[in-house]
Amino acid sequence: MVLGVMQKARKFQQVLDGEGPANSDPVRVDIEPGTQYRYSGGGFTVMQYMLTELKNRPFPQIMREIVLDPLDMRLSTYKQPLPENRRGEEAIAHRSNGKPIEGKWHTYPEMAAAGLWTIPSDLCRFAIELMLSVKGKSNKTLSKEMVSQMLTAQKGNYGLGIGVGGKEENFSFSHGGGNAGFRCFLVAYPEKGQGAAIMTNSDNGSKLYIEILTSIANEYVWNAFQPEEKALAEVNPAIYDIYTGKYLYSPGVIVTVFRENNRLYFQAPGEDPEEFFPESETDFFSTEWDMQITFVKNEEGVIEKIKVNNQGQTLELKKIE
C-alpha cells in the first residue's frame, strides 16, 4: 500500500515537473495570475496538490466527500486508474479514425484536470445544483456567493472554471471536456431551468455533440448553438502559403497552420486538423465551432500573429516559425 502511494506521488510530481513519462511541459507561473484568460490544466493540478496536502487524504476521497456524495453523483469517481470493480462500465476511447485507443483509455495522475469518470445524468445533477445554488435554493457544496462568483465573467466569457454567456433568461453556463478518445459538453440555462449533457467516446465527438446541441437549441429556443450564415470569399489559395507555420498559444503549446489541397487547416496539440474557410484574404471561420481567426501583418507585410475569436473570447497567438 505504501509503495503504491509513493508511486502515485512520483507520477504526480513528474506531471508538475514535465518529466517523462509525462507528455506535457512543466507547470510554472509565467504570467501574473488574473491578468488574462488561459486554459490551465496545470493550475488545477496544483490545486489538487494543495487539497491533498491540506486535507491529508487522497484526492478521489476528498472529492467524494465534498462534491460527489452530496450531489448524489453515485456513478462518478476521480479514482485513477479506474478501480477493478468498475471495469466493464466504462466506454472505450476511440481516435477520430474509429480505432480504439491502445489500452482502451488513458490513466491520468492529474485527476483534478483530467481524471473524472462520470455519466451524463451525474453531470446534470452538478448543473442542477449550480442552478439552484445561484438562486439561494441549495448549498450542498458551495454558498450562493461562491456560485455567483463562479458564474460571473472574470475574463472574457469565462467565470471561475466555467464558461458563461448571455443575459437574463438567456444566461447560460457551460463546460467542455476532452481527454484522448473522449469529448463531452455540458450547458445549462438557470432562468429557463433547462440544460443538456452530451458525452462521446471519440476524438471527433465534438462534431456530433454540436449537431445534437443545435437540435436541442432549436427545440427549446436557446439563443446559442444556432448556425450563423457566412459569405464564402473567393481567395487565391496561393496566399495561404504566407499563413502556414507555427503559432504560440502559451509556453510549450504550439498551434500549427498548414495548407493542403488548396485548403487552410488549423491544428491544436492533440486535436485533429480543423479546416478554416475564408471570409476575406485575412479572415477565416470554422464551420464546426463559433471560432474565427484573423491573420495580422506587421509594417513589412509579414504575418506576425493570429487573432483568435473563440465564442467571444479573443486571444492572440504570435507566429514563431
Q: Is there a domain that residue 214 lies in?
A: yes
Identify the H or E element spanning 13: helix 2-17
What pLDDT does 96 receive?
Answer: 86
In this structure, the answer to whether residues 100 and 211 fall within a common structural domain is yes
Q: Is there a domain that residue 9 lies in?
A: no
In this structure, the answer to whether residues 186 and 254 fall within a common structural domain is no
pLDDT in tens, the chain (321 residues): 433 444 456 666 777 777 766 667 777 887 787 777 777 788 888 899 999 999 999 999 999 999 999 999 999 999 999 999 999 999 999 998 899 999 999 998 889 999 999 999 999 999 999 999 999 999 999 999 999 999 999 887 889 989 898 889 999 999 988 899 999 999 999 999 999 999 999 998 988 998 899 999 999 999 888 777 788 899 999 999 999 999 987 766 788 999 999 999 998 877 778 899 999 999 999 887 778 899 998 888 889 999 988 765 677 888 998
In this structure, the answer to whether residues 280 and 140 fall within a common structural domain is no
Domain containing residue 69: CATH number:
3.40.710.10
Structure-block grid coordinates of residue 158: 469565462
Q: Is there a domain that residue 99 lies in?
A: yes
0.95 cut: is pTM over it? no
In this structure, the answer to whether residues 138 and 253 fall within a common structural domain is no
In this structure, the answer to whether residues 210 and 309 fall within a common structural domain is no
Q: Is there a domain that residue 180 lies in?
A: yes
Q: Is there a domain that residue 230 lies in?
A: no
Structure-block grid coordinates of residue 105: 483509455
In this structure, the answer to whether residues 108 and 252 fall within a common structural domain is no
What pLDDT does 199 receive?
Answer: 97
| Final residue of a structural domain among 190, 220, 250 | 220
Buried b (16+ CB within 10 A) or exposed e, 180-199: ebbbbbbbbbbeeebbbbbb
Which residue range forms the structural domain that includes residue 286?
237-319
Please state, in angstroms and as integers, the Cα–Cα distance from residue 52 to each residue in 33, 67, 225, following that order: 22, 15, 38
What pLDDT does 23 receive?
Answer: 67
In this structure, the answer to whether residues 164 and 288 fall within a common structural domain is no
CB-CB contact of 304 with 297 (8 Å): yes
In this structure, the answer to whether residues 131 and 43 fall within a common structural domain is yes
Tell me the β-bridge partners of 179: 182
DSSP category for residue 142: S
Q: Is there a domain that residue 12 lies in?
A: no
| Final residue of a structural domain among 174, 189, 220 | 220
- Domain tally, the chain: 2
What distance in Å separates the CA atoms of residue 149 and residue 128, rounded to the nearest whole number? 17
What distance in Å separates the CA atoms of residue 200 and residue 119, rounded to the nearest whole number? 10
What pLDDT does 1 receive?
Answer: 40
Per-residue three-class SS string for 151-192: CCCCECCECCCCEEECCHHHCEEEEEEEECCEEEEEEEECCC
Domain containing residue 300: CATH number:
2.40.128
Give me the DSSP letters along 198-211. EEESSTTHHHHHHH
